[in-house]
Amino acid sequence: MAKYRIEFDEEDCIGCGTCNAVCEENWEMDYEKNKARPKKTELEEVGCNQDAADNCPANCIRVVKVEDSPE
Ligand code: SF4
């Protein structure tokens, strides 16, 4: 089960490319729309996604910890 979820507010994205620069592993650019796009939104590890969130000038990326559901 995924432990983290990426929340991305595409409307606020200004297409600056920073997330792609710091975390190419999970962030790609759609140059036609001039927006970023996460490759995966359900994650086992935060990896560089927190760097992407911290450096996003539009503050439109959040890394949310998913609570373990009781079995
Ligand atoms: S860093 Fe933020 S504003 Fe810049 S392309 Fe990525 S999501 Fe969009």
Hunting for tokens 């001039």 — which residue is that? 34
The answer to whether 57 and 22 have CB atoms below 8 angstroms apart is: no
pLDDT in tens, 22-67: 999 999 999 999 999 999 999 999 999 999 999 999 999 999 999 7
Helix, strand, coil content of the chain in percent (nearest 5): 20, 30, 50
Q: Which CATH number fits domain 4-65: 3.40.50.2300, 3.90.120.10, 3.30.70.20, 3.90.1150.110?
A: 3.30.70.20
| Ligand 1 pocket at CB < 6 A | 13-19, 36, 56-58, 60-61
Determine how β-strand 61-65 pairs with β-strand 4-8.
Answer: antiparallel
Instruction: Tell me the two tokens of residue 19.
Output: 């997330």
Between CA 43 and CA 40 the distance in angstroms is: 7
Q: Can you tell me which atom of ligand 1 is nearest the CA of 8?
A: 7
Q: Give pLDDT, residue 47.
A: 97
Q: What is the pTM of this model?
A: 0.91
